[in-house]
Structure 1
């Protein structure tokens, strides 16, 4: 079951766009070989000023300060443009990040959050989640959704998607993965019968891992919450030495126009309740594995 986090301990006084900007600034400083102290001194700032900026706790970020940091760290014009775009976002606890060439190609906010999370609770009514996709399934998805990309780029995209599975297969502190997939996902053909058979078996096999729980939501249960909602992911982060989450929990939902990130406590809790509802209505993990293997056999019989 999804972790019930003490939300009172999650308010860090920052927002996701500010934290994302801070991460990029910190990465640029580190790449330039500069310490926090030396960078602050070269900017004629106090150390605390730069620290607050890198920790996402500066409410108003000035464009001229970003320009000066870009010159100090010798970053590209694209990097600076991405910084300014993040700084322009209002410091509120919901963020609709529309797709732009700069942020989409260079800075995948979700992947960075995913790599830092200790638990991912995923509801997916359309396709298998990226962390559970085989290379062949991911490749077929990419070729369908991005047909104009050259084969080399498509192969690399599929490889990157499957490489992300290291988060849940690594020996040391693997990410806890809780997934509910609608039965529709198992019937929507991606790449043909052979690809689907292998994909279904792969998901069933992944569900045998101690840190992974996969449940199948059957057609006959209807709408467990009484509402229709899109795919979503609740990301929960590990705690620091003081027992506080290193980052507030975030809800991620992807749409045709962009990514939505929700951080307000009531929003996160609402999605946690929705995930519990679909989990309770779904088949248990054992019967789900059995059903996934049965559907895989049905695809094999179509070969």
Structure 2
């Protein structure tokens, strides 16, 4: 388990809240009872446990005393609270990042495994600058150029932080075959993007599989499963109307099962690599590849 000081603020905050909630339940106190003991409002207790607000170090020490948390354990929680108050690289760009995606970004650096399914576009962690820029321009009609440049910089910074970790998490990705043929930008952009996917698939921590059209299995919404021995398992679902995070058992089991089915139905890594190369070559030749051209 990493020291609290080494954790990013989002992961540290999640651990702190979970530990405080478990400690409160272990001594049999409700949120109302804690509020009465500390002369806080019920809203304050609830918002601390939900993560809507942080907790000061003096308040944390007082809470630990009432929850019968020992001295050593209290110091661990204090370290987590201090880590949670630090500014992540995304701090100045929070307004450009949806809350659920912000949590996902924060958890990626402490993940042990990442499983991702995408149905419409290449995963954000694997997009080339050209593909990402073209996609942002198409999806952000009316946005100012400066804002688009900022969003692109955020996406590229997220990629760099993920892939340049000393030990990146084991990453398994299922990509709908339609993603390979959906033009984002011009043919050269697509050729570069397919080559990028092929290059990433050769990295030891990355496995990419394409889900072919002939498989009668499909999900409209993309999703990501983040697994960590430290922070647990969380699912980020990229829905059309609003992104969402799922942390409860039944939801997690549903997405885990869905990913396992999609993974087993997809082409294996070797056949996926062959397909990516053939599609990349077609785009590079200024052609538009079609699925029915392949064996």
Structure-2-length-normalised TM-score: 0.66
Larger Rg: 2
Alpha-carbon distance in structure 2 between the residues aligned to 1:211 and 1:264: 27
The equivalent residue for 2:252 is: 268
Match of 1:250 among 228, 234, 247: 234
Alpha-carbon distance in structure 1 between the residues aligned to 2:95 and 2:209: 36
Q: CA deviation at 1:101?
A: 6.5
Alpha-carbon distance in structure 2 between the residues aligned to 1:149 and 1:115: 30
Alpha-carbon distance in structure 2 between the residues aligned to 1:195 and 1:211: 25
Q: CA deviation at 1:133?
A: 0.5
**Cα pair 1:254 1:260 within 8 Å, conserved:** yes
Alpha-carbon distance in structure 2 between the residues aligned to 1:145 and 1:126: 12
The equivalent residue for 2:243 is: 259
Matched, 1:216 2:210: yes
Equivalent positions of 1:75-154 (< 5 A) are: 104=98, 108-154=102-148
Q: CA deviation at 1:217?
A: 0.8
Q: CA deviation at 1:135?
A: 0.7
Aligned partner of residue 189 in structure 2, secondary structure: helix
Match of 1:159 among 130, 147, 153: 153
**Cα pair 1:20 1:109 within 8 Å, conserved:** no
Alpha-carbon distance in structure 2 between the residues aligned to 1:263 and 1:105: 15
Aligned partner of residue 267 in structure 2, secondary structure: coil
The equivalent residue for 1:294 is: 278
The equivalent residue for 1:204 is: 198
Matched, 1:184 2:181: no
Alpha-carbon distance in structure 2 between the residues aligned to 1:276 and 1:221: 14
Q: CA deviation at 1:111?
A: 1.7
Query: How much is the aligned-residue C-alpha RMSD, in angstroms?
Result: 3.4
Shift in alpha-carbon separation, 1:106–1:232, aligned structure 2, 3 A: closer
Show structure 2 runs of 5+ residues with no match. 1-17, 23-46, 78-84, 86-90, 288-295
Shift in alpha-carbon separation, 1:231–1:106, aligned structure 2, 3 A: closer
Shift in alpha-carbon separation, 1:228–1:156, aligned structure 2, 3 A: closer
The equivalent residue for 1:234 is: 225
**Cα pair 1:167 1:175 within 8 Å, conserved:** no
**Cα pair 1:135 1:159 within 8 Å, conserved:** no
Shift in alpha-carbon separation, 1:285–1:19, aligned structure 2, 3 A: farther
Q: CA deviation at 1:117?
A: 2.0
Match of 1:21 among 44, 48, 51: 51
Alpha-carbon distance in structure 1 between the residues aligned to 2:66 and 2:154: 36
Number of residue-to-residue matches in the alignment:
225
Q: CA deviation at 1:118?
A: 2.1
Q: Deviations over 1:275-299 (max 9, x none)?
A: 1111111111121111111101111
Q: CA deviation at 1:115?
A: 3.0
Aligned partner of residue 138 in structure 2, secondary structure: helix
Alpha-carbon distance in structure 2 between the residues aligned to 1:219 and 1:109: 32
Q: CA deviation at 1:153?
A: 2.1
**Cα pair 2:201 2:208 within 8 Å, conserved:** yes
Alpha-carbon distance in structure 2 between the residues aligned to 1:272 and 1:203: 24
Q: Deviations over 1:170-216 (max 9, x none)?
A: 25111221100010000110011111110010011001000000001
Regions of 4+ moved over 3 Å: 12-15, 17-20, 45-52, 100-107
- Of residues 178-187 and 160-169 in structure 1, the stretch that sits farther from structure 2 once superposed is 160-169
Shift in alpha-carbon separation, 1:248–1:230, aligned structure 2, 3 A: same
